């Protein structure tokens, strides 16, 4: 029997996957930076009423955390959206999913946190899964769209690392509002 948590994860996965197709079509009507700016400006406006009371206690550490995470989000989404102008949504989703095995490797390089054996097994399984999804017969060329999307994956992995670095030490609401407004 599938529980509520599993249904929520499946729903989130469905929305995440569908967003590639939606963004792919949206950037045909507008530029990638306009679209990403509009997307996050809307998110900031929706979040503002909820986070506004908490902004009174905004610290320098929270401002720095929000700004750095926000810059990673901006870089990641902008490059991913830019790439979607020239590659298919399925190729973009495939390349973007490479952030999963990148996070533990980059944590080791940046934070000197050596991944445990289970993480290395996860990296290997994620890479194997990505290769299977790639449809080996088709091949994966590295044109401009693929290269820019691959760079976006680094920014997304760095965003996750920064969130883990500040987790539990900053107010989530204030940091979220700052990162959405960057």
Q: Which pLDDT score is estimated for 31? A: 78
**pTM for the predicted model, two decimal places:** 0.78
Q: Which residue has the tokens 């750095």?
A: 68
Per-residue burial over 141-178, b if 16 or more Cβ lie within 10 Å, else e, is eeeebbebbbbbbbbbbbbbbbbebbeeebbebbbbbb
Q: Which pLDDT score is estimated for 48? A: 82
State the helix-helix crossing angle for 99-111 and 117-133, rounded to 10 degrees: 140
Which residue range(s) make up the domain with 29? 4-181
Give the model confidence (pLDDT) of 19-44 as tens digits.
767 776 777 777 778 878 888 888 88
Give the model confidence (pLDDT) of 61-85 as tens digits.
999 999 999 999 999 999 999 998 8
Q: Which pLDDT score is estimated for 61? A: 96
Banded pLDDT at 133 (limits 50, 70, 90): low
**Quick one: which of 173, 148, 143 has its CA closest to 96?**
148
Find the mean pLDDT for residues 104-129: 87
User: What is the Cα–Cα distance from 147 to 1, expressed in whole angstroms?
Assistant: 42
Q: Is the pLDDT of residue 166 over 60?
A: yes
* Token digits of residue 1: 């029997």
Q: Is the pLDDT of residue 135 over 60?
A: no
Instruction: Say how many domains are in the chain.
Output: 1
Question: What is the Cβ-side half-sphere exposure of residue 27, based on CA atoms within 13 angstroms?
Answer: 23
């Amino acid at each position: 029997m599938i529980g509520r948590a599993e249904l929520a994860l499946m729903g989130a996965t469905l929305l995440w996957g569908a967003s590639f197709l939606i963004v792919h079509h949206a950037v045909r009507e507008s530029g990638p930076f306009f679209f990403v700016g509009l997307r996050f400006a809307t998110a900031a406006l929706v979040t503002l009423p909820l986070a506004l009371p908490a902004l009174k206690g905004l610290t320098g550490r929270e401002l720095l955390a929000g700004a750095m995470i926000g810059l990673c989000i901006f870089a990641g989404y902008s490059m991913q959206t830019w790439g979607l102008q020239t590659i298919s949504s399925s190729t973009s989703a495939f390349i973007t999913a490479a952030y999963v095995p990148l996070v533990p490797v980059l944590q080791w390089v940046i934070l000197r946190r050596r991944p445990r054996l289970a993480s290395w097994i996860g990296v290997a399984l994620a890479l194997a899964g990505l290769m299977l999804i790639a449809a080996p017969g088709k091949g994966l060329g590295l044109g401009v769209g693929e290269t820019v999307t691959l760079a976006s994956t680094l920014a997304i992995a760095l965003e996750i690392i920064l969130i883990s670095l500040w987790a539990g030490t900053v107010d989530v609401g204030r940091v979220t509002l700052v990162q959405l407004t960057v």
